[in-house]
Structure 1
């Protein structure tokens, strides 16, 4: 039996972020806006604010997958990037 599961991760390019906060309004469990007015991703309510590093790549819970995709589509700065990975177990 082969089981395939998908993992979704998201990150924000802060250099492209316009600070509109639409992502935060749409999915506050995954996106946060800090004092600098820029959006960041969060895991378990903890902002991952290390721009440009792997430490800024947040795992997205299944219940938020669609909201994250919608947030990326509506983002005026086009700064939200989604990475999907599949893992297979034989």
Structure 2
């Protein structure tokens, strides 16, 4: 059995990233359970497609429906996205600092 980082482990370094700067997010649809927590917590950043899985949204609110598509997290949504990633039951929300 291998040790896999939890969502909280994966994002802990982004909380203290340079200047609390911009984040990029993407969802691993192979791990997505369709629970909807991310859509409830950060509906401006995540949404459901017809396949029942979550995807990030583009700046205009449209879904980025290609698996692995990345979106920049608006600064006012940063904490909501961090919370969604931490609490995601599928641990499928990925974040990385950008800029």
Q: Decide: shared fold, TM above 0.5.
A: yes
| Alignment counterpart, residue 45 of structure 1, candidates 52, 61, 66 | 61
Shift of 1:20: 0.4
Normalised by the length of structure 2, the TM-score is: 0.76
- What RMSD over aligned residues (CA atoms) do the two structures have, in Å? 1.4
The aligned runs of 1:13-52 (5 Å cut-off) are: 13-43=28-58, 44-52=60-68
**Cα drift, residue 5 of structure 1:** 7.9
Match of residue 67 from structure 1 = 80
Between Structure 1 and Structure 2, which shows a larger proportion of strand residues? Answer: 1
Between Structure 1 and Structure 2, the one with more helix by share is 2
TM-score normalized by the length of structure 1 = 0.83
Residue 34 (structure 1) shift: 1.0
